[in-house]
Amino acid sequence: MESLSILFMQKPAVLAALITHLDSELEGLLRGARASYAAATDPDSKAENKYDTRTLEASYVARGQAQRVAEVQEARHSLMQLRDLPSGQTVKLGSLIALEIGGQKDHYFLSPAEGGIEVTVEEQTVMAITPSSPLGSKVMGLALGSTINLPSGHLARLVAVL
């Protein structure tokens, strides 16, 4: 149960760390998007001949960055909605879990978006996974104490759910 108490203390901190990570990413993306937009609309980047595609390429970059900004903003909003979700004994969106794999505990947060982000809270690394990821799809709905076979061939046991 020690792992469970540690996770309980960490869950709000993990969520805050994930949101902070997205805020930082969003800040960088917004700077890049503004620069790309400026380059795409700059009168000096006007095509010099029919084969000059600088303006077109700059507009593609600006559009791609704007789409990524929207994705990160949506992910941040989705994480903010998880703050008030109750904990339970089965894995669901917003759960903070610990899997024991070969005697080692790995911690994961079931996130609605932006899987693959790792944050460290109280010297514990937690990875965000989504329900559509290979691991996320295997753990969704599992009860405490359940075991799963991982693609690596290892057996994992669910030892904590918050």
Model confidence pLDDT, tens digit, residues 43-84? 766 666 666 677 777 778 888 888 999 999 999 999 998 877
Task: Check pLDDT > 80 for residue 9.
Answer: no
Segment 92-138, tens digit of pLDDT: 999 999 999 988 999 999 999 999 999 999 888 999 999 999 999 99
96-161 CATH fold: Vcp-like ATPase; Chain A, domain 2 (3.10.330)
Sign of CA dihedral 20, 140, 9, 99: negative
Ramachandran region, residue 141 (left: φ > 0; alpha: ψ -120 to 50; beta: rest): left
Domain boundaries, the chain: 2-84, 96-161
Question: Which residues 6+ apart lie within 8 Å of 87 measured at CB?
Answer: 8, 11, 95, 161, 162
- Cα–Cα distance for residue pair 66/71, rounded to 1 Å: 9
Tokens 């996320």 locate to 136
Q: Which residues pair with 128 in a beta bridge?
A: 109
Amino acid 52: pLDDT: 61
